[in-house]
Amino acid sequence: MVLEAVVCKHCGLTQQVQRFGKTRSGTQRYRCGDCNRTFVAFYTHKACDPAVQVQLTQMAINGAGVRDTARVLKISRNTVSSQLKKNGQIIQVNPNYAYKESY
């Protein structure tokens, strides 16, 4: 029997993580005893992973387009758009920024 230490994706602790049922697709869910949040060790859909969502937000802040973000993260363009809208992370343009065309 091999025991694998599961790290909480929210607070980073390993001691108080317990199994907490299964998802609809049958993957194992875990619950952290310290922060009381649930998570899945391996996500079925890549866009649900919190690390991918952080990258998506950072790319939007840095001015990357939807197509570029989708290509780099290997997710659908529609998924990128819906994640940005759902999380309220629509980036507003700075009015002091002047676009200069260089030919």
- Residue 78 confidence class, pLDDT cut points 50, 70, 90: very high
| Residues 36 and 53 placed together within one structural domain of the fold | no
| Residues 3 and 39 placed together within one structural domain of the fold | yes
Residue-wise pLDDT tens digits, 32-63:
988 889 998 888 788 888 888 889 888 888 88
- Does the pTM exceed 0.85? no
User: Would 10 be classed as within a structural domain?
Assistant: yes
Pick the residue with more confidence: 88 or 16?
A: 16
| Residues 4 and 40 placed together within one structural domain of the fold | yes
Domain that holds residue 11: 1-44
- Residue 93 confidence class, pLDDT cut points 50, 70, 90: low
| Residues 76 and 64 placed together within one structural domain of the fold | yes
| Residues 38 and 61 placed together within one structural domain of the fold | no
Report the candidate in 52, 22, 55, 16 with the shortest Cα–Cα distance to residue 37: 16
Report the candidate in 100, 99, 102, 58 with the shortest Cα–Cα distance to residue 80: 58
Rounded mean pLDDT, 29-33: 91
| Residues 33 and 59 placed together within one structural domain of the fold | no
The total number of structural domains that make up the chain: 2
User: Would 93 be classed as within a structural domain?
Assistant: no
| Residues 30 and 63 placed together within one structural domain of the fold | no
**Tokens standing for residue 8:** 């909480």
Question: Residue 75: what pLDDT?
Answer: 93
